Amino acid sequence: MSCFPLFSNADVRRPVVATQPACWNIGVETLPKPSRFSAIPKLAGVTPASRLEVRAAPEMVSSGIRQMDALTGGLPRGCLTEICGPASSGRTSVLLAALAAATQRQEVCALVDVSDAFHPLSAAAAGVNFERLLWVRCGVHKQTSGLPQRHPSTALRANSVTEKDKYPKQMEGPVERALRVTDLLLQSGGFGLVMIDLGDVPLKIARRIPLASWFRFQRAVERTPTVLFVVTQAPCAQTCAALLLKVQKQSSAVGYPSLAKKLSADSSQPSEKNLSRKISPSHAQLLDELHIEGELLRSRLERKPVRSVTAVFTTKAMRIS
Amino acid sequence: MPAFACIFVPDFSVEAWLRAEPELRSQPLAVLEGKAPLQKVFAVNEKARRAGVTLEMTKPQVEACPGLALRNRSRLQEAAAHSALLDCAQSFSPRVEDAGCDTLVLDLAGLEPLFGPLPKIARALARRASDLGLKADIAVASNPDAAMLAARGFSGVTVIAGGKEAEQLGSLPVEVLLGGSFQICRDGPEAAQLLETFRRWGIRNLRDLAALPDVELSERLGQTGIYLQKRARGATSRTLVPVEPPLIFEEVIELEYPLVLLEPLAFLLGRLLEQICDRLGARALATQELRLELELQNGYEQDCHPEQARSVRAAKSLPRACRGDLGEPPHRDPASSGIAISARRASLFHRTLRLPVPLLDPKTFLKLLQLDLRAHPPGAPIVKIHLAAEPAQPRAAQNGLFLPPSPESEKLELTLARIAGIVGEEKVGSLELLDTHRPEGFRMQRFAPSEPQGRRGGEKDLRTESSRIGIRSGNSRTKEVSGRLKSYPSQNAVKSEFFRSLLKPCLQSTVCAELNPCSSQKQNDESPDDLVIALRIFRPPVSVTITMRDGKPAGITCPKPKEIHGEILWAVGPWRSSGDWWEQEGWARDEWDIAVQEEIGIALYRLVRDLLSGRWLVEGTYD
């Protein structure tokens, strides 16, 4: 944008805008005649600011978390919403809550899973309706069925396999595939919520995503009822994001009171006792009441707050394993 | 007054070829029949007739004619053209008589209020036949035989008013009476004898035959003569014999030269799809399943052109997954995807395209087939294309103003096919949880979202009433938990008991709310949030080294992701589970929840010890 030549050299010598500084403040009856603008070739097609269309405020939908709705007003339709935070900060919990709320509204949702990290049982526990969820697995692990291999030959993580071994046919990485898939989904239209999960993508790779891609996504969802939801480790979409929320765990001294209590109670019992219980605690039940703090970093919908605005969500244990 | 229409396609064998190759319509065309080298001309079009090509000429004779296109007679294409003709007739009237491969008679009784007057119906019939790729002559008369004679004798659209059959049919040559499917004589020589008799009598047209005295004609030709005279006068009366054509929509192209590239194949597929969609549209049907059968050339490397052989060898050098090897076709579960592949013989290549909703858009079908063939190429030159569509009732959808947005079915199918081309067919779809405790007990299935349900009247009333008394959260929570119960697999009794305990307070709160709204509001305010801590899975799990202390994990080291490294702050567990020990793929594992101090803070992981292999794995992180 900065390199676009708005004025020619001749215009620079005679800066028209600088000599007409009040053209935005004067009334309609005192607007300069169109001939003034039309006389300058470069400004002939420029719409005066007074005639610019006022963009209506987007419709907001619930994110599935009451505190987050109170903080941000919900998720804006036709805009890009970015949730960022480090690992174990609660990003996926927020994602699943938004997904559950959207599918319960009977909207068709799509999840572009860059690292193939989606856990179906967590989603089921969050209340996601799988019938209305399109899951696109852009990860690298080649597995034809959902059942895992019994003994994986090598320890592989999402992005540790060489591209040549993974995709002999298409020499592109998961992030590139995810961007192409997102393009297709947004151009197809009709989705109520499209999510891109870049949570496990290293930050240096995520920041290599060109800004033009985010602009393209923003333009694609503009004036549509689609909510574009991106989960990252750190802000990547920059100004394309209409809503930027940072989530993090509260400090351990504050955030794990019940956890510490349960842990101390559990530590007094031998481990084998857990196995002999008639009704064993649900898996990860000790992670109940994990406090997640969400901080609103940017919102185009309201003026930037003077100071940081935060909200605290409390999780409950995943009851199913 | 009864009215009958006849659809007659002159030079039917030629028209069948012109339907398959419309570009031949502008040039002379001759269809040959017989075994080489004794092939003779079986049918010609008007341009070839003008060029001097006649029937029964041999192939060497007609090859001297410049610009003449020669095609072998194709019974499959004729059958497809006849089916298209039947569809054309059936789209107007259910009472259709199949009077021959090139002739149909349909009863027009009662159609005038629907389609307009008889001339308009006749023109619509001609237009519909032209849309299906057949140039047909249409005649409408008060009896079937008169309509057939007029259709065979007059080109274009002919409408004979009632009582004027003899007058209008009189100018037709007498050969029309005995030619083609109108033969009343069992064998050919008798028809020839009759024609020779009429010629000796000086009878040239039907008017002459109709003017003969009945008694004398009967004395010389018997009942056959009387019958022929009645037909010449247009005065016969008979009952129509309607047929019920089966709903088979198939199109075939037999190629003169084998196809090697997919682009020309797509061109031909597009033509076949348009023909099938036209036929389906004529019967007010759509399709939900397309079956493509390609006949491949056997021993193509020896027979084909060196350039083709080079291309095929290049195709064979592609990876096996890229070229769709016919010897061992990639077996796929039809339930998990809409596309299945099978190979009956080595020379046949089958693809089946199943759609979640009935569609009737040839462009969408073509794009889907292109994407599918690009992912699964036949791997050999193609000599014959057979495309069949399974008819289905078209989708009737009533959109609502207040229904949530949903993708259009055509666009969604194309998008899914394109995404499958990017990430693989098995990596896109919706989830189905399996009835198992096995980790990651799910499978991918075809994504086909149902139509959003409209708000029913009773539900609306209930919601309104509930919101009035303040039990909105209670109701939604009950539904949510009920939905979870439906979506979850039936696992052990512990979890079922847990669900019941979870559901019970919701039901109780709902009932109590109806009795005491204030108490329910209070309960809603105190209800916990629905934010559930989620697990992010590492696929496959990350192998780690664990240091144990007092029977608990105390330290973790991972060679690959360096961030999973350090002292374990706390560990909870183990939760032991096992299953499928009666099968080859049994599993047994202990699960731990651990917290590891990392540079960015405390990270929560799920640690798994595979009891069968003794390995420690990090299955995922809580996020």
* Residue B309, domain member (yes or no): no
- Position B410 scores a pLDDT of 84
Three-state DSSP state, A166 = helix
**pLDDT, greater one: B527 or A290:** A290
* Residue B51, domain member (yes or no): yes
Least confident of A89-93, B121-125, B447-451: B447-451
Q: What are phi and psi of B427, to 5 degrees?
A: -110, 15
For chain B, the maximum distance between any two Cα atoms, rounded to a whole number of angstroms, is: 124
pLDDT in tens, A25-84: 434 444 445 555 556 666 667 777 777 777 778 888 888 888 888 888 889 999 999 999
Least confident of A12-21, B85-94, B144-153: A12-21
The answer on pLDDT for B476 being more than 60 is: no
Residues B198 and B84 in one domain: yes
Kindly list the residues from chain B whose CB atom is less than 8 angstroms away from the CB atom of residue A149: 540
This complex has an ipTM of 0.72
Least confident of B221-225, B296-300, B606-610: B296-300
Q: How far apart are CA B470 and CA B323, in angstroms?
A: 62
Three-state DSSP state, A110 = strand
- Position A99 scores a pLDDT of 92
The answer on pLDDT for A4 being more than 50 is: no
* Residue B103, domain member (yes or no): yes
User: Of A132-136, A149-153, B240-244, B449-453, where does the model show the most confidence?
Assistant: A132-136
Element spanning B280, H or E: helix B262-282
CB contact (8 A) between residue B532 and residue A86: no
Residues B477 and B513 in one domain: yes
Contacts of B36 (CB under 8 A, 6+ apart): B59
Q: How far is CA A220 from CA A53, A83, A194, A212, A215, in A?
A: 19, 19, 12, 12, 8
Q: How far apart are CA B47 and CA B544, in angstroms?
A: 81
B334 preceded by a cis bond (ω within 30 of 0)? no
Mean pLDDT of B522-537: 61
CB contact (8 A) between residue B532 and residue A66: no
Rg (CA), chain A: 25
Interface test mutation site (partner B, options A66, A71, A95, A121, max chain B beta carbons within 10 A): A121
* Residue B515 identity (one-letter amino acid): L
Cα dihedral A169, A175, A180, A185 sign: positive
**pLDDT, greater one: B284 or A171:** B284
Least confident of B117-126, B151-160, B489-498, B578-587: B489-498
User: Of B317-321, B359-363, B394-398, where does the model show the most confidence?
Assistant: B359-363
Q: How far is CA B58 from CA B35, B64, B166, in A?
A: 11, 11, 40
Kindly list the residues from chain A whose CB atom is less than 8 angstroms away from the CB atom of residue B587: 150
Kindly list the residues from chain B whose CB atom is less than 8 angstroms away from the CB atom of residue A106: 403-404, 452-453
Q: Which residue is associated with the tokens 């029949």?
A: B33
Cα dihedral B444, B445, B449, B453 sign: negative
Instruction: Please say whether the beta carbons of A192 and A158 come within 8 A.
Output: no
Separation in Å, CA of B595 to nearest CA in chain A: 10
B378 preceded by a cis bond (ω within 30 of 0)? no
Of all residues in chain A, the one with the smallest CA distance to B574 is: A271
Residues B279 and B332 in one domain: yes
pLDDT in tens, B245-271: 888 899 988 888 888 888 888 999 999
Residues B105 and B251 in one domain: no
Contacts of B184 (CB under 8 A, 6+ apart): B178, B224, B227, B228
Q: What are phi and psi of A265, to 5 degrees?
A: -65, -40
Residues B197 and B72 in one domain: yes
CATH of the domain at B149: 3.30.70.270
Of all residues in chain B, the one with the smallest CA distance to A320 is: B495
Kindly list the residues from chain B whose CB atom is less than 8 angstroms away from the CB atom of residue A227: none
**pLDDT, greater one: B8 or A289:** B8
Q: How far apart are CA B555 and CA B575, in angstroms?
A: 19
**Which residue(s) pair with A311 in the sheet?**
A294
Count residue pairs from A and B with Cβ separation < 8 A.
Answer: 297
The answer on pLDDT for A114 being more than 60 is: yes
- Position B234 scores a pLDDT of 87
Could you say which residues from 15 to 54 on chain A have a Cβ atom under 8 Å away from some Cβ of chain B? none
| Structure tokens, B228 | 């022929």
Residues B288 and B420 in one domain: yes
The answer on pLDDT for B146 being more than 70 is: yes
Q: How far apart are CA A62 and CA A102, in angstroms?
A: 8
Q: How far is CA A29 from CA A22, A25, A32, A35, A54, in A?
A: 13, 12, 9, 15, 20
Separation in Å, CA of B157 to nearest CA in chain A: 46
Kindly list the residues from chain B whose CB atom is less than 8 angstroms away from the CB atom of residue A131: 430, 449-450
CB atoms within 10 A of CB B36: 8
Can you give the residue range of the structural domain that contains B596?
535-622
- Position B190 scores a pLDDT of 77
CB of A98 less than 8 A from some CB of B: no
- Position A287 scores a pLDDT of 58
Could you say which residues from 127 to 166 on chain A have a Cβ atom under 8 Å away from some Cβ of chain B? 127, 129-139, 141-152, 154-158, 160
For chain B, how many structural domains are there in total?
4
| Structure tokens, B373 | 């063939």
Q: How far apart are CA A319 and CA B500, in angstroms?
A: 13
Q: How far apart are CA A125 and CA B275, in angstroms?
A: 49
pLDDT in tens, A205-234: 888 899 999 999 999 998 899 999 999 999
* Residue B436, domain member (yes or no): no
Q: How far is CA B324 from CA B170, B319, B351, in A?
A: 64, 9, 11
Interface test mutation site (partner B, options A69, A133, A188, max chain B beta carbons within 10 A): A188
Interface test mutation site (partner A, options B484, B536, B596, max chain A beta carbons within 10 A): B536
Kindly list the residues from chain A whose CB atom is less than 8 angstroms away from the CB atom of residue B533: 90, 93, 122, 284, 287, 290, 315-318
**pLDDT, greater one: B276 or A45:** B276
Q: pLDDT confidence of A289, banded at 50, 70, 90?
A: low
Q: What percent of chain B has pLDDT over 90?
A: 20
pLDDT in tens, A185-205: 999 888 999 999 998 888 888
| Structure tokens, B319 | 């990876």
Mean residue pLDDT of chain B comes to: 77
**pLDDT, greater one: A2 or B389:** B389
Among the partner-chain residues A108, A225, A287, the one whose CB lies closest to the CB of B622 is A287
CB atoms within 10 A of CB B397: 10
Q: How far apart are CA B122 and CA B120, in angstroms?
A: 5
- Position B254 scores a pLDDT of 85
CB contact (8 A) between residue B440 and residue A148: yes
- Position B528 scores a pLDDT of 44
CATH numeric code, A60-140+170-246: 3.40.50.300
Instruction: Please say whether the beta carbons of B143 and B165 come within 8 A.
Output: yes
Mean pLDDT of B83-99: 91
The answer on pLDDT for B301 being more than 60 is: no
Separation in Å, CA of B555 to nearest CA in chain A: 17
Kindly list the residues from chain A whose CB atom is less than 8 angstroms away from the CB atom of residue B426: 144-145
Q: pLDDT confidence of B76, banded at 50, 70, 90?
A: confident
Q: How far apart are CA B527 and CA B509, in angstroms?
A: 11
- Position B321 scores a pLDDT of 35
The answer on pLDDT for B390 being more than 90 is: yes
Residues B31 and B152 in one domain: yes
Q: pLDDT confidence of A281, banded at 50, 70, 90?
A: very low
Kindly list the residues from chain A whose CB atom is less than 8 angstroms away from the CB atom of residue B434: 146
CB of A261 less than 8 A from some CB of B: no
Q: How far is CA B245 from CA B85, B91, B95, B239, B279, in A?
A: 11, 12, 11, 19, 13
| Structure tokens, A186 | 């947004």
Exposed e or buried b for every residue in B501-523, given b needs 16+ CB within 10 A? eebebbeebbebbeeeeeebbeb
* Residue B73, domain member (yes or no): yes
Separation in Å, CA of A38 to nearest CA in chain B: 43
Separation in Å, CA of A210 to nearest CA in chain B: 20
Separation in Å, CA of A307 to nearest CA in chain B: 24
Kindly list the residues from chain B whose CB atom is less than 8 angstroms away from the CB atom of residue A114: none
CB contact (8 A) between residue A97 and residue B439: no
Q: How far apart are CA B552 and CA A271, in angstroms?
A: 8
CB of A167 less than 8 A from some CB of B: no
In chain A, DSSP assigns E strands to 60-61, 75-76, 80-84, 109-113, 133-137, 193-197, 227-232, 241-249, 291-299, 309-314
- Position B386 scores a pLDDT of 92
- Position B561 scores a pLDDT of 61
- Position A31 scores a pLDDT of 46
Q: What percent of chain A has pLDDT over 70?
A: 57
Kindly list the residues from chain B whose CB atom is less than 8 angstroms away from the CB atom of residue A153: none
Q: How far apart are CA B340 and CA B345, in angstroms?
A: 16
Residues B14 and B156 in one domain: yes
Instruction: Please say whether the beta carbons of A82 and A243 come within 8 A.
Output: yes
Domain ranges of chain A: 9-51, 60-140+170-246
Q: pLDDT confidence of A315, banded at 50, 70, 90?
A: low
Separation in Å, CA of B482 to nearest CA in chain A: 10
| Structure tokens, A311 | 């909200």
* Residue B559, domain member (yes or no): yes
Cα dihedral B212, B214, B216, B219 sign: positive
| Structure tokens, B135 | 């140039």
Q: pLDDT confidence of A318, banded at 50, 70, 90?
A: low
* Residue B589, domain member (yes or no): yes
Instruction: Please say whether the beta carbons of B43 and B25 come within 8 A.
Output: no
Least confident of B152-166, B273-287, B331-345: B331-345
Per DSSP, helices labelled H in B299-361 are 300-303, 306-316, 320-323
3-state secondary structure B428-467: EEEEEECCCCCCCCEEEECCCCCCCCCCCHHHHHHHHHHH
Among the partner-chain residues A90, A108, A316, the one whose CB lies closest to the CB of B528 is A316
* Residue B142, domain member (yes or no): yes
